[in-house]
Each structure stands twice: as C-alpha cells, then as structure tokens.
Structure 1
Amino acid sequence: MLGHTFVAFADNIMVGQLGTAELAAVSLGNSLIVAFMYVGIGFSTAITPLVAEADGANNKPEAKHVLKHGLVLCTLLGIGLFLLILACKPLLYLAKQPEEVVELAIPYLNLVAFSIIPMLIFQAFRQFSEGMSQTKLPMYATIIANVLNVIINYLLIFGSFGFPKMGIIGAAVGTLVSRFVMLIFLFVALRIRKEYKEFVSNFDFKTLKGKMFKKQLNLGLPSSLQVFFEVAIFTGAIWLSGVLGKNPQAANQIALNLSSMTYMVGIGLSVAALVRVGNQKGLQNFKELRRIAQSVFFLTLVIEIAFASFFLLFRDWLPTLYLDENDLLNQKDNVEVITLASKLMLVAAFFQISDGIQVVVLGALRGIQDVKIPTALTFIAYWLVGFPISYYLGLHTELKSTGIWIGLLSGLTVSAVLLYIRFDIMTKKLIIKNS
C-alpha cells in the first residue's frame, strides 16, 4: 500500500523542482483521479474477505470463482471510471481554481486517468493474493513499479540523457507505464508459482454467474462508498485550499502526501485485520476473531503514535523535501509554501492516530462482511461533521488552511469512534449467537 502512495510522493518531489504552480497542478489533477481510483480500490476489497473465507474453509474452486468474477467487475469498473473522470474535467474550471494551475493539470489528468484501468485489474489479482495470505508478491510488484516510475520521471520531467523535457506530462507517462508493468509482473508471478497457477489459469469467462456478481456487488459497493466518502473530503480540502490560492494548495498537497504515506501503513494493517478476521469467520471462531482484531487495533495505535511523534519533531524539515528554499527564481513562493506546510503538519500529526484506527477497524468490519451500517457511519463522520468544519474554518475564519485540516481531524476522529462501537457491538452479538 505504501508503494501506491510512493508513486505520488516521487511525482510531487520531482515536479516540485519545477515550481509551486506545477506542484499545485499535480495536486489538482490527482485530487480528481484519486477520488475515483480509491472508489475502485474500495470496490475491489470485496474480493479479499470472500477469498479469505474460502481459503479458511479450504475451498479452492470457490476462491478461483471469486477471482474470475472480480476480474470482470474490476475491468469494467476501470473503464467506467476512466470515462467518468474525462467527463468531470469541466469541474476543474468551475471550482474557482487558479487558471494557470488548471491549464497545467488537464493534460496530466488525461494520461493518469487512463492508468486506472491497469491499476484496477492489478487490484483484482492483489486482493485475491492477499486473501490467500500472500502479501509479498503484490509488494514486489509495487517496488518494481516505483523504481521504474522514478527512472521515467527523471528522464522525461527534466529531459535527462537526451530525452524530451516534458515537465509534469513526463510524470504522467511514468505513472501510466509503471502501472502496466505492475499488473504484468503480478500476473506472471502468480502464474509461475505452483501453488497459485491453478487459480490464475484457464479462466472460463463464458460461465459467469449472477449470484457471485451480486455477492461481490453487495460487499464492494458499500466498501467503495466508504472509501469515496473519506477520499472525497480530502479532495474537498484540496479544492478549498485552491480557493485560497496556489501556494495554500501546494502546501496542502505536501502535508496530504506525507500523511498519505503513513496512512498506507494503516491500510496495510487493515488488510491484515480483514484477512485474519475473514479466516476466523470461515472457521466460525468468533472469540478468536475478536481477539485478533483487537490485537491489530492496539498495534496500529502504537505505530500511529510513533508516526505522530515523527511529524511533530520534523515538521519544519519534511516540507523542504518538496521545494528548494534556495531557488532564487521561486524563493518567495517556496518559503511561503514550506512555512504553511509546516503548520499543517502539526494538525496532521494528531490525525495520524484517528486515521489509522478508523481504517483498521473498517478492515475488521469488512472481514466479518459488515459493510452497510459502516458506510452510513463514515458518511456522517466525514460529511455531516468533518467537511462543514473544514469549510467554515477554512473560508470564513483566520485559520484558513489550518482550519481545513482541523475539519479533517474532526471527521476522522468521529469515524474512528463510531466504527469501533459498531465492531464492539457486532462481535459481541456473534459470540453470544454461536456460544
């Protein structure tokens, strides 16, 4: 999961050398793409608990059945989301964003939007692999993709070694190519492994069953909405920052990108919770299910406190990774962005804890295939609590960018509390029912 975010991390650092307008453009383009991409990723998570449950019950034909239908749904979803992003491009002009930023963002957005298709097909294989408790192969795929992305970025953003200097379009090409390579690597890696070859070979797409599609849709749609409600509030924060200007938007992108890096560790732990809870559900051992989940919650709390401490200690240094304070041509803008990003890191330090806990509890709830009520809880937390606070404090008080992030912190904290209460209630009911 960290590998997915490292693609954006590399893009931001390398594009940041071109100037704050280019960094803001990548932020704006990705804000639209990421909102839709994570809807697709959330949808694909339906594959993991179904495969984990089949694996726990040692039902290999069922696991392959889940993967086959998941591949079809993820491919169709990838194509649909790509077309939807293209249709939404006019929104960038209507959202009161800086004109120079929008003009730079549109060409970047076109290429990266297309990369959603291979990305979601990769997700189908990845979620299957994780459901089988094989997390290393997807990790290797993302490492290779990131190395390739950095190399292509270096060659095409700056025009190194005789390659054309393409600016942020070079970053988009790097993302697109690396995601195709990531997909090909994981498919081949699963195919050549003896224990997984039968699952990824000889698919009979003529024998698709509506019952399995319905099962994945029932799990995947609420899961995708959960992700959408969270990602959308962060997209809203980017757009609110854009109303304040290109420098606040660039500062927001730095703080958001750094926070996303640590958030992906939480997502990785949520996958662990999802898989292990799904295994125990297959075994019908609900006391052990609850114990395992609470162990992951505690581990997450410890790790996120460490991340929060890191952000507090290095809040002044971390933003300088993205922009050069000594760049005389852009020095005034760069110093302003770095100073503002440092202030945002103070708030980001505290929401690490809430963010990590809520995503891991959400993973455990998906493991017991409880998705509908958690979807409503995430909507309440982010859109009835978090976003109104961000909007009011960001645009109608002197807090501005910091106020936007206080709203994010509020939404994440409410989400963590509500989801934990839901998990506590549901697991106690399952234990009583099966005792």
Structure 2
Amino acid sequence: MIQTYSLGQKIRQFLMILLPVLVTQLALFAMSFFDTVMSGHASAHDLAGVAIGTSIWSPILTGLNGILLSLTPIVSQLTGAGRRGEVPFKVVQATYLALAIAVLVIFCGALLLDPILNSMELEPNVRQIAREFLVALSYGMVPLFVYNVLRCFIDALGQTRVSMLITLIALPINIFLNYLLIFGKLGFPRLGGVGAGYASAITYWCIMLIAVFVVIRLKPFSDYQVFRHFYPISFTAWKEQLKIGIPIGFSIFFETSIFAAVTLLMSEFNTATIAAHQAALNFASFLYMVPMSISMAITIAVGFEVGAKRYDDARKYSYLGISIAVMMGLLCAIGILTFTEQVARMYTTDSVVLQLTKQFLFYAIFFQLSDAIAAPIQGALRGYKDVNATFIMAFVSYWILGLPIGYLLASYSSFGAFGYWIGLISGLAFGAVFLSLRLAKIQRRANIMERGEEDRLGACP
C-alpha cells in the first residue's frame, strides 16, 4: 500500500485491494460448494454425511481462523508506521501460534468427535461418513492454519492479488481431486463423501507450499526475509495476537454458529420448510461474500493509515468502504426482487419447496442489507485494533436478541419458521446501529489525537 492524497486515488487503491479479496472469498465458497454438490452425486448418504461434517467444522474453523486474522491489522499498522523490521518476528510468532492451534484442534477432535456424533440422531451410515470426512480433513489442519497466517501477511501488505491467484490455483486442484477420490477415477479408490475430506486436506498442503514459496522467493515478500532467521517462541507476542484475535474469533464464531443453531431448531418443521430454509440461507451466505470481502479490505486500508497516524485518511477509507458495501447491498436487494423465481429454481424443482424458498429469499433481502452495514464497520474497527466491541455486539445481537426473538416469533406467532429470520434480522439491525456508534466514537478519539499531534509539532521551534 502507498499513501494517497485524493478521493480518486483512495478509490483506486481500495478497489485494487478489494476485488482480489472478493474473488478469493468466492473461490473459497466454491470449494465448499463443489464438495457438497459432488458428494451429493455419489449418494444421498454421502451428501448428508458431508453436510453434517461441514456443519460441525465450519463454525470451529471460522472462529479459530478469526484468531489468526489479528495478524492483518498488526502488520498493516507496522508497515504504515515504517517499522518493517518488526514484521518477520510477528509473522513467525503467528505461524507458531497457528501450529499450536492446529495440534489442539486435532487433539480435541480425537476426544470429542465420537461423543458429538453419537449424540446426534443420525443413520449409522451417515454418522460413519461424517466421522471419516472429518478425520480426513484433520490431515490438512496444520497446512490450513499456516496458510491462513501467510495469507494474512500477504494481504496486509495490500498484495491481495497474490492470495487471489493462489486460491484460483487451488480451486481446480480441489475439484480434480474430488473427481478422483469421490468417484474413484483413474485407478483411485471410490471413497464417496470421505474423498472430499482427503481432497481438501491435500489441497491445503498444496496452497501452503505455494504460499511459502511466494513469501520466500517473490518480491515484495522476500524483502522481509520472514523465514531467514530463527525466532524462539515468544508468549508475549502470542499474548498480543490473542488479545486482538480471540475477540475476532469469538465474534465470527457467534455469527456462524447461530445459523447452525437455527438449523437445528428448524427441525420441528416439515422437510419442505427445512429444505427451503437451507436453500435461501446458502444463497444469503453467497451474497455475504461481498460485505465480508469489503470488511477485510477496510481492515487493511484503515490499519495502514492508523499505523501512519493519518487518522483522517483512515476515516475516509472507512466511509468509502461502507458506502460501497451499502450500494452493493442495494444492488443485491434489487437483484433478489427481480430474479426471485430464477434463484429459487437453482435449488429445487419441487413446487412446495420452490414457493417457500421464494418467501425466505424475501427475508434474505433485509438480512444482507443489515450485513452491508455491519460487516464493513467491523472491518474498520479491526483496522483500529478495536475488537472487543465487535465481540460483544456479535454475542448480544445474535444470542441475546436475535435467537430469542426468533424463537418466540416462530413458536408463538403466525410467522412460523420465518420468525427465526425476523429475529436474526432484528439482531443484525441492532448490531449495525451499535457498531456505527462505536466507530464514530473511535474516530472522534483518533481525530483528537491527530489534532494534539499537530499542535505539538506546531509548537516545536
């Protein structure tokens, strides 16, 4: 990243960061999509097993990955402040932390996986596929978390196109491995849905090795000489990263786990309603890639400017990103209204499920409009390293407000299953208002600091 002086320069730089991030997130979403779709073509039991395994793993992955996301604002602020010499140490310590998290996940999985699956009312075949799918994924835990650290480092330097290229390379690798291992092609064993787990694990090793090569050999990353020197483990550095990362991780976990909770609560409704809910939720998750990508881009841009103590520029990047997110949210809302029928038909041909999906998609409009405000504000706050507010907001808006309101509406009103969506929308709207007020407070404080610095420099002879 470089310093910008006009709004036009800021827009160009922000879009250069944002567009590759968006492509990367869509490609990652596509990997999960193809795992599910290709497993479904193996058998219904394979589809169910992979779906159960994914529903268990996704909230854990996103929450733990949120801890590692702390490296992005740390590196952004260091580069903005011109303290590049400190970056290699931070990246290496984050890598150690990622290794520790991966080992902890594998250990906990070995102890808890069977009790969790046995507590669920699943057919034995489905339970076995889900178990073996997650065991297969575990072989890729170490490279997955290490890659996420390296991606944070790459993105923090504003080089998001590199992350995009790595992910785009990984997508066809993952699809090809799925083809070989799920269906048993070219002499490989037919593993069904379990093959999707092994395909993902191998893909994680591939992208980690590519990322290591990029960081060591290609500029500007090689200039930092990240792995040139050995650094012993520093629990002080871990503490700094965990202080920022744990609130980020928990806020993401609260957000992703709420959907798993709602899906479980939806089991009281008929199959058509559950299917329609899942279809609309899948499409809403796809649309969420836009505000989430904008949020990640804002964190990079704001962190860089805050590190350089250019607080006015940080504020401008914040509102630039929020404005783009709101405009995109409005465009998506118009798109859903215009193509509701076509979107619903992508998921089902059953007439009952189709009509219910169209109704759920109407609520998805308000869902993603709230996301278009809340997500980029979270990104801006993370750029300021203000993460506790988003953690508190996620817990309150989803679990204290959203879920109870949704349960009451679903159980004691005529809204039925739609009540859960209304509850989540209400929680998100509260979160958007709360975060807006928090960002305004942080920016006022930053402006006071900037004016104080200017007055101090002006007073110097």
Same fold (TM over 0.5): yes
Task: Give the aligned residue type for 1:432.
Answer: I
Q: Following the alignment from structure 1 to structure 2, what is the Cα–Cα distance between the partners of residues 239 and 200?
A: 48
> Deviation string for 1:258-297 (max 9, x for gaps)?
2222212222211211111111111212122112101100
Q: 2:55 aligns with which of 31, 37, 50?
A: 31
Cα contact 2:279–2:347 (8 A) shared by 1 = yes
**Alignment-derived partner of residue 18 in structure 2:** none
**Alignment-derived partner of residue 236 in structure 2:** 211
Give the drift of 1:429. Answer: 1.9
Partner SS for 2:373: helix
**Alignment-derived partner of residue 67 in structure 1:** 91
> Deviation string for 1:192-219 (max 9, x for gaps)?
2132114354354443333322211111
Distance change >3 Å, CA 108–CA 207, structure 1 → 2: closer
Q: 1:220 aligns with which of 245, 249, 256?
A: 245
Q: Following the alignment from structure 2 to structure 1, what is the Cα–Cα distance between the partners of residues 122 and 291?
A: 32
Cα contact 1:190–1:197 (8 A) shared by 2 = yes
TM-score (norm 2): 0.84
Distance change >3 Å, CA 360–CA 278, structure 1 → 2: same
Q: Following the alignment from structure 2 to structure 1, what is the Cα–Cα distance between the partners of residues 238 and 155?
A: 20
Q: Following the alignment from structure 1 to structure 2, what is the Cα–Cα distance between the partners of residues 401 and 350?
A: 16
Cα contact 2:393–2:434 (8 A) shared by 1 = yes
Q: Following the alignment from structure 1 to structure 2, what is the Cα–Cα distance between the partners of residues 52 and 242?
A: 44
Cα contact 2:50–2:194 (8 A) shared by 1 = no
**Alignment-derived partner of residue 431 in structure 2:** 415
Distance change >3 Å, CA 241–CA 114, structure 1 → 2: farther
405-414 or 293-302, which moves further after superposition? Answer: 405-414
Q: Following the alignment from structure 1 to structure 2, what is the Cα–Cα distance between the partners of residues 160 and 4?
A: 24
Distance change >3 Å, CA 319–CA 18, structure 1 → 2: farther
**Alignment-derived partner of residue 214 in structure 2:** 189
User: Given the alignment of the two structures, is residue 136 of structure 1 paired with residue 152 of structure 2, yes or no?
Assistant: no
**Alignment-derived partner of residue 15 in structure 2:** none
Task: Give the aligned residue type for 1:341.
Answer: T
Task: Give the aligned residue type for 1:309.
Answer: I
336-345 or 368-377, which moves further after superposition? Answer: 336-345
Give the drift of 1:303. Answer: 0.9
Q: Following the alignment from structure 1 to structure 2, what is the Cα–Cα distance between the partners of residues 109 and 53?
A: 37
Report 1:337-352 matches (<5 A). Answer: 337-352=353-368
> Deviation string for 1:350-378 (max 9, x for gaps)?
21121232121111101101112321122
User: Given the alignment of the two structures, is residue 82 of structure 1 paired with residue 83 of structure 2, yes or no?
Assistant: no
**Alignment-derived partner of residue 421 in structure 2:** 405
Q: Following the alignment from structure 2 to structure 1, what is the Cα–Cα distance between the partners of residues 345 and 76?
A: 43
Unmatched runs of 5 consecutive residues or more in structure 2: 1-24, 452-461
Q: Following the alignment from structure 2 to structure 1, what is the Cα–Cα distance between the partners of residues 267 and 126?
A: 9
TM-score (norm 1): 0.89
Task: Give the aligned residue type for 1:265.
Answer: V
RMSD (Å), alpha carbons: 2.6
Partner SS for 2:386: coil
Task: Give the aligned residue type for 1:123.
Answer: N
Distance change >3 Å, CA 171–CA 129, structure 1 → 2: same
**Alignment-derived partner of residue 326 in structure 2:** 301
Cα contact 2:216–2:227 (8 A) shared by 1 = no
Cα contact 1:16–1:322 (8 A) shared by 2 = no
375-384 or 411-420, which moves further after superposition? Answer: 411-420
Cα contact 1:28–1:239 (8 A) shared by 2 = no
Give the drift of 1:130. Answer: 1.0
Give the drift of 1:430. Answer: 1.7
250-259 or 176-185, which moves further after superposition? Answer: 250-259
Q: 1:178 aligns with which of 193, 196, 203?
A: 203
Give the drift of 1:311. Answer: 2.8
Percent identity for Structure 1 against Structure 2:
27
**Alignment-derived partner of residue 330 in structure 1:** none
Cα contact 2:88–2:227 (8 A) shared by 1 = no
243-252 or 364-373, which moves further after superposition? Answer: 243-252
Distance change >3 Å, CA 411–CA 111, structure 1 → 2: farther
Report 1:8-19 matches (<5 A). Answer: 8-18=32-42
